[in-house]
Amino acid sequence: MRGIGLPQLSIFYSRGARPHALTRSHRSARAYPEENVTNTVATVLETYRTTSEVETVAVARELARTLSAGDVILLYGDLGAGKTAFVRGLAEGLGVQREEVSSPTFTLLQEYRGGRLPLFHADLYRLNDPREIDDLGLDEIADRGVLAIEWAEKLARPHYERAIAVRITHGDGDVRTISVS
């Protein structure tokens, strides 16, 4: 996994003990193992706290402005955590109409064009067999634009060279913690 910096988000940085709205904890030293990757530890580089879908979209929008073709966003989080909202923000940051973005739970893979790069959006929620995931051809499309994969924990082994892991966790109410590594 590669390191990224999001200087555009410096307006959201807070040093206070009780940060407000959207905040960032710069270069957190906390690390966690990816559930399905043996002997791999991903260091959390950026952590954001959002209190609304609008703020979650804003974090993703700023991340998208740093992306290039071949970047893969691995999205982790419980049902309803905000993974699809995050992809809407990626779309917006790439210049795609975010209103077009919906969860591809039943279609499995969507392609959005019209921005500076194509955005491919996969949802692995309903897939349990690794062969079904292979049949989506994610490896083949990864270099053609930005690939966002919801439920990335279902990948047998995330092996993308230019992967960015985004973990979204629920807090109280609409609070979300977004960790980028």
Residue 32: pLDDT band (50, 70, 90) is very low
Structure-token pair, residue 78: 């419980």
For the chain, give every domain's residue range.
7-180
Does the structure show a pLDDT above 50 at 1? Answer: no
Q: Average model confidence (pLDDT) for the chain?
A: 79
Length of the chain: 181
What's residue 118's pLDDT? 96
Judged by phi (left if over 0) then psi (alpha if -120 to 50, else beta), residue 49 lies in beta
Does the structure show a pLDDT above 90 at 87? Answer: yes
Q: How far apart are the first and last CA of the chain?
A: 7
Q: How big is the CA angle at 102 (ends 147 and 171), to the nearest 5 degrees?
A: 85
- Residue 46: how many other CB atoms lie within 10 Å: 22
Residue 101: pLDDT band (50, 70, 90) is confident
What's residue 100's pLDDT? 74
Share of the chain above pLDDT 70, in %: 73
What's residue 43's pLDDT? 66
What's residue 20's pLDDT? 30
What's residue 98's pLDDT? 67
Query: Residue 33 is which amino acid?
Result: P
What pTM did the predictor assign? 0.76
Alpha carbons within 13 angstroms on the beta-carbon side of residue 153 total 14
Encode 94-126: b = buried (16+ Cβ within 10 Å), e = exposed: bebebeebeebeeebbbebeebbbbbbbbbbbe
Report the CATH fold assignment for 7-180: Rossmann fold (3.40.50)
